[in-house]
């Protein structure tokens, strides 16, 4: 009965947002209301930006970082060390590492983390393409920079097991980062330290 008071269109938007990972019903409601409360022009501009983003942004063919071109600026850069690949969960983790200016290798975005709760299995992540890259290119080191969370650790150890017999150095990002931290939110100094203190597994 109570439900009937919620306009159908609003209900639909809230439902769709709350289907996104990391959004509950409350945060979905908040986002919808924030957009409704925006000046109409700004709100429409925001929606336009979303459309433009969907049209222009796609994962880099090689590493999976979100980019506007077929290959991202990192993969196109001749000066990068192509023997090192840093494995991250999401593009924004790579952007955070780039911001430190302390890393000169390549990236591989797996697109999430293993999570039995959310039913995310290895097949849902770009892990197979990582193994292929390691096999087909002169890679000497893989740095596992998944987040220091339970799922991030499980993901790192899953990838480690697939790579351990491939005659390369496999290291894990160091722990200036507190357990449970999210790479993307770490300050540049902490992240730079964590990279510096990576340790071979
Ligand atoms: Zn790339």
List the chain domain ranges: 2-56, 60-200
What separation in Å is there between the alpha carbon of 69 and the centre of ligand 1?
A: 9
What separation in Å is there between the alpha carbon of 134 and the centre of ligand 1?
A: 14
What separation in Å is there between the alpha carbon of 181 and the centre of ligand 1?
A: 25
- Given this model, what pLDDT does residue 1 score? 47
What's the half-sphere exposure (Cβ side, CA atoms, 13 Å) at 9?
A: 2
Sign of CA dihedral 150, 58, 162, 201: negative
Percent of the chain exceeding pLDDT 70 equals 95
Q: CATH: 3.80.10.10, 3.40.1360.10, 3.40.50.2300, 3.30.479.30. Which one for 60-200? A: 3.40.1360.10
Domain 2-56: CATH class, spelled out: mainly alpha
- Which residue matches tokens 């999430």? 112
What separation in Å is there between the alpha carbon of 62 and the centre of ligand 1?
A: 5
Residue-wise pLDDT for 61-96, tens only, equals 999 999 999 999 999 999 999 999 999 999 999 999
The pTM assigned to this predicted structure is 0.84
């Amino acid at each position: 009965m109570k439900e009937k008071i919620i306009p159908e269109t609003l209900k639909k938007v809230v439902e769709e947002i709350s289907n996104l990972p990391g959004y509950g019903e409350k945060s979905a409601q908040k986002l919808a209301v924030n957009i409704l409360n925006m000046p109409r022009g700004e709100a429409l501009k925001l929606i336009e930006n979303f459309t433009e983003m969907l049209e222009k942004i796609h994962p880099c063919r090689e590493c999976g970082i979100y980019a506007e071109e077929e290959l991202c600026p990192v993969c196109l850069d001749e000066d990068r060390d192509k023997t090192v690949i840093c494995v991250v969960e999401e593009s924004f983790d790579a952007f955070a590492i780039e911001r430190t200016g302390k890393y000169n290798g390549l990236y591989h975005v797996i697109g999430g983390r293993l999570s039995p709760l959310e039913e995310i299995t290895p097949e849902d992540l770009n892990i197979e393409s990582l193994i292929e890259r390691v096999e087909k290119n002169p890679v000497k080191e893989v740095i596992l920079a998944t987040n220091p969370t339970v799922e991030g650790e499980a993901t790192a150890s899953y990838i480690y097991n697939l790579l351990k017999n491939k005659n390369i150095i496999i290291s894990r990002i160091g722990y200036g980062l507190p357990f449970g931290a999210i790479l993307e939110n770490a300050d540049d100094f902490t992240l730079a330290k964590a990279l510096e203190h990576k340790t071979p597994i």
